[in-house]
Amino acid sequence: MKIISEQNKAILIKRSKSFIWRLGGMLAIALLDFVGGQLGLFNLPPEVVVVVGLILSEVTKQLNKTK
């Protein structure tokens, strides 16, 4: 008896990759904000970091799809 069908497994893998892609974008912006704040270059509010991270994630995802 299979617990996860092949179709559901494919969907789970696709959604996991999408989550990891978005998480990477958010982490990149958060790291950039942290390093910039430590160097005194800028210190963005958390709301701005989240919005910019989401935008970056979507832009890079679309760029990756258009290859």
Q: What is the pTM of this model?
A: 0.71
Query: Cα separation of 50 and 44, whole Å?
Result: 10
Query: Cα separation of 37 and 49, whole Å?
Result: 12
Q: What's the pLDDT tens digit per position in 22-66?
A: 888 889 899 999 999 899 888 788 899 889 988 988 888 787 777
Query: Cα separation of 44 and 30, whole Å?
Result: 10
Eight-state DSSP code of residue 67: -
Residue for token digits 């996991």? 16
Q: How far is CA 36 from the centre of its chain?
A: 19
* Residue 16 pLDDT > 60: yes
* Residue 4 pLDDT > 80: no
Q: Take residue 47 and report the two structure tokens written for it.
A: 């709301």
